[in-house]
Amino acid sequence: MKLGSSFVVPAGPSRVFAHFLDPRSMRASIPGCAELERVDGAHYRGRLENEIAHVRFSAGFACEITELREPEQVRAVLKGEDHKLGSSIKIDALLAVHPDDTADGSSRVDYSMDVALWGKIGRMGESIVRRRSQEVERQFVTLFSEICASGPPGPDNPALVGTTPAPAGTAMPAGHRTSWWRRLLQRLFGGKR
């Protein structure tokens, strides 16, 4: 399954690029990324949690940066396995940032992902998985833009203050779990709703 798009963030390319490599920024941007830490220069590890329809997916993963073209492009391969669900995931992701021509001080982020899901979760229905992926994409764009806009990586970035890992998605019957939209709004605006 291929996903990809581009979006504009209100921050310069160098700051955006710094966020790409910062585990704290990425953890806060990737929906369902419950843990993320850097092991060494090119390796990260963490945990992805997600709910697709009635199914909960929780996968420990390892991520390797396979290509780094500072300060514009990073390619990473993420591999994770949910033993309980008998499923694994592989994401080959390319993130690139370029100065945006339309507005000063902003950048355009291009991303493309090749997502493979294997095992029980991979056969539960392509449309369901695709739809969930679309949601994850949209959330990522919103969250990452917000974080880039709020400042450089690090504990002082207001968008990163108080971020706690939370599983993405919703369960059925719906509603008993705070919707991702609400959680997103809470995260962005400090629980104003």
Residues binding another protein (CB under 8 A): 1, 53-56, 79, 81, 83-88, 90, 114, 116-128, 130-132, 134-135, 170-177, 179, 181
Task: Tell me the closest approach of the beta carbon of residue 174 to another protein, in angstroms.
Answer: 4
CA angle at 140 for the pair 135 and 146, rounded to the nearest 5°: 130
Output 18 or 115, the one with its CB closest to another protein. 115
| Long-range contacts of residues 92-95, Cβ cutoff 8 Å, at least 24 apart | 95/20
C-alpha of 124 from chain center: 22
Output 45 or 79, the one with its CB closest to another protein. 79
Output 1 or 103, the one with its CB closest to another protein. 1
3-state secondary structure of 106: coil
Task: Tell me the closest approach of the beta carbon of residue 92 to another protein, in angstroms.
Answer: 10
Task: Tell me the closest approach of the beta carbon of residue 39 to another protein, in angstroms.
Answer: 17
Q: Is the peptide bond before 173 cis (omega within 30 degrees of 0)?
A: yes
Eight-state DSSP code of residue 121: G
Eight-state DSSP code of residue 53: T
Task: Tell me the closest approach of the beta carbon of residue 126 to another protein, in angstroms.
Answer: 4
Output 70 or 178, the one with its CB closest to another protein. 178
State how far the Cα of 70 lies from the Cα of 59, in Å rounded to an integer: 29
